[in-house]
Amino acid sequence: MVTYNFICPDCNNNVLAEILTDVVMTSIIVDIHIKDDQVEPDYQEGETDGGIVERYQCDHCGFVLKTESDQTVDSLDDLKNWLEEHGVVQLDNDYLSDNESLN
């Protein structure tokens, strides 16, 4: 197994965001406050269902991942290719033991 880390080419941030459309989101409401006739729910957690990947982008600056042919990366296959080209391999135990077994 190889684990890749995303590093943004523009800002060096390492948080990758997956942007989905057509998604159903369920939010759990724990308390409902009413103040001056305004309803203000307290949301505890959310859960999403379904959805179609529209793009992958840097969570910090919004840099959108593009394929070699300048198409927006919108599938895990494209993401894999992008990471193989631009990602940083994380040196985890599996990686180290894989290399040790070569010696």
Rounded distance, CA 90 to CA 83, Å?
Answer: 12
Nearer to Zn ion, 15 or 24 (CB): 15
Q: Which residue in 4, 7, 13, 54 binds Zn ion (CB under 5 A)?
A: 13
| Least separation in angstroms between CB 101 and Zn ion | 36
Give the number of residues in contact with Zn ion, rule: CB under 5 A. Answer: 8
CB 11 within 8 A of CB 36: no
| Least separation in angstroms between CB 9 and Zn ion | 8
Strand partners, 101: none
- Nearest CA to 14 out of 55, 61, 53 is that of 61
Rounded distance, CA 64 to CA 74, Å?
Answer: 10
Rounded distance, CA 27 to CA 19, Å?
Answer: 18
Binding mask 38-77 for Zn ion (x = CB under 5 A): --------------------x-xx-x--------------
Asked if 4 is part of the footprint of Zn ion (rule: CB under 5 A), the reply reads no
Binding stretches for Zn ion (CB under 5 A): 8, 10-11, 13, 58, 60-61, 63
